[in-house]
Chains A and B, each alone.
Chain A
Amino acid sequence: MGEENVPASIVQFAQLDKLLNLGRANSLWPMTFGLACCAIEMMCTGGSRFDISRFGAEVFRPSPRQSDVMIVAGTINKKLELAVKTLYDQMPEPKWVIAMGNCAICGGPFKVKENYNVVEGADKLFPVDVYIPGCPPRPEALLEGIMMLEEKITGKRRWPRVQPG
């Protein structure tokens, strides 16, 4: 069962929680938080060809108060660090974080010895639930990331996992 890092609620019934998690998993409202190149791939995923709305995640909310998942799509640098933490705080529970792209995972192409300005990874700021590698990751990778987050929330996988090869 997922949600080990989402705090518990006052009333807890097993079946009711399963139903709630199913509802949460199928209506993840991401926050428009496109920083750099990965934001363009996120927009392509929102487009009609890759169609993120098949997973109920096409409602990109601008304000953190109404969003469930923060997709960190791009590079966080030292000037933006406080703003990112503020946005994370302002999101109500239950909230999840998807680190999209190498920059959000570990600083990516900017993790060099002369790095004076890039925060090397979003998990230095807050707990991250799903990492999507790629620079930028393909829209299919973002959809796979959302499916992994859904599996983390409900414990069941919606689509059979594609075996490589």
Chain B
Amino acid sequence: MTVPVHLRHDETFVLNLGPQHPATHGVLRVKLTMDGEYIVKAEPVLGYIHRMHEKMAENGTFAQFMPNTARMDYLHALAFNHGWALVVERAAGIEVPERAEYIRVITVELNRIASHLLWWAAFLLDLGGFTPLLYAFDDREKIIDLLERVTGSRLTYCYLRFGGVYNDIDDEFIAGTRDFIKRLRGRMPRLYHDLVTHNIILIKRIKDIGFVTAEQCRRYGATGPVARGSGIDYDIRKNEPYSVYPEFDFDVPVFTEGDSMARYMVRMHEMEQSMRIIEQALDKLPGGPVMGKAPKVLKPEAGYYYSAVETARGSLGHRLVCNGDKNPYKLKLRSPTFSNLSLFGEVAEGMLLADALAFMGSLDLVIPEIDR
């Protein structure tokens, strides 16, 4: 039930939810016009961490841009690697061996769980709970150790190559992954759901807060858990299958309420689905090489190419324009959080400031991915 209010302009004041703020997960600034506790108008201001990725793409070769992809969304860096590798492989017509595809899916899904764990820790930190961060990071460190064995770095992975992956996974990685999944499945019902999800304080803070309708998602282009929380059954791994995803059976959690609780539950169930995918991929892992043959200097045919990949935050698109020489002529990165955040202004109007922060936490923002 909302209360219509007429407002004279001198009763409001402008507050900066500025670049340096614990709840903005980075340097997002929101200019809030406030009427006491209520937000009259919210206007996100971007660009405080704009790092010229697209200009660098035009001045470097295709392979030189791979490290950049990991520095945009560093929580799900492998999906960004995967998106960039996919669009260039399509453009240059490079074949990827079967085993490399499976390794890509395993590492991307592990990275997705790590990203959701960090979102979960940061979201509850925004709402005031500090202890969930400790055991969520404990689980996340297990994943980071596994991925560090294979990729060599902890956060900004540069693991994929055009035509395959950098190096092969060994039995210790496979055994470690199975142990990790058994451990997380054991902890999930007690630590994550009983202690936090059914906690009355959390339910009071995020239930019926920040309603996003399916039509709003479509008009603003919101994808990923934000859209799946409002009843839109859209997951690129299912709707626009790429790599070897069609060979695994996993279902896409969709909730219809559209409030912050729905988005929360979508991500919690997605962690479970990612574990199912990893197990099936480990069971069906074929042998063979991990690196297909790819020309040293890539000169893809001129033309327009687009690839979409499902990251933890939504659909990541690479719009690539090639004119035949060794540098990409133009690369536009369609980042999911850029569109997910654009509906913040419309939804946060009339909200209490504390609820607006809970709503922003449920959008799962990574600011360098917005500013690129």
Name A residues whose Cβ lies closer than 8 Å to a Cβ of B.
Answer: 31-37, 39-41, 43-44, 46-49, 60, 62, 74-75, 77, 79-80, 83, 87, 109-110, 112-118, 135-136, 138
Contact = CB atoms under 8 A, between A and B. Distances in A.
B129 interface: no
Contacts of B79: none
A80 B59 contact: no
Nearest to A103: B51
Given A32-B22, A77-B48, A37 B137 contact: no
Contact of B52 (A34, A60, A110): A110
Interface string B17-61: 011111000110000000000000000000111111001100100
Contacts of B181: none
Interface stretch (B3-11, B66-74, B90-98, B299-307): B66-74
Q: 7 closest Cβ contacts across the A-B interface? A: A47-B137, A37-B74, A80-B48, A48-B134, A62-B22, A49-B141, A36-B368
A87 B20 CA distance: 9
B50 A77 contact: yes
Interface string B121-144: 110000000000111011011001
Secondary structure at chain A's binding surface: helix, strand, loop or mixed? loop
B173 to A, nearest CB: 20
Contacts of A112: 52, 56, 59
Interface in B60-106: 67-68, 71, 74-75
Contacts of A77: 47-51
A97 B26 CA distance: 19
Given A48-B138, A49-B138, A62-B21, A115 B52 contact: yes
B353 interface: no
Contacts, number: 104
A38 to B, nearest CB: 9
Contacts of B230: none
A41 B118 CA distance: 11
Contacts of A118: 51-52
B48 to A, nearest CB: 5
A42 B22 CA distance: 13
B72 to A, nearest CB: 10
Contacts of B141: 44, 47, 49
Contacts of A47: 133-134, 137-138, 141
Contact of A116 (B55, B121, B138, B367): B55
Nearest to B74: A37
A114 to B, nearest CB: 5
A36 B49 contact: yes
B37 to A, nearest CB: 20
B275 to A, nearest CB: 22
B156 interface: yes
A149 B140 CA distance: 29
Given A37-B368, A40-B155, A75-B49, 8 more contacts: A46-B133, A79-B47, A83-B19, A83-B20, A109-B67, A109-B68, A112-B52, A114-B55
17 contacts: A33-B20, A34-B26, A35-B26, A37-B156, A43-B121, A43-B122, A44-B141, A62-B22, A109-B68, A110-B52, A113-B59, A114-B55, A116-B55, A118-B52, A135-B156, A136-B74, A136-B155
Nearest to A107: B51
Nearest to A110: B51
Nearest to A63: B20
A40 B52 contact: no
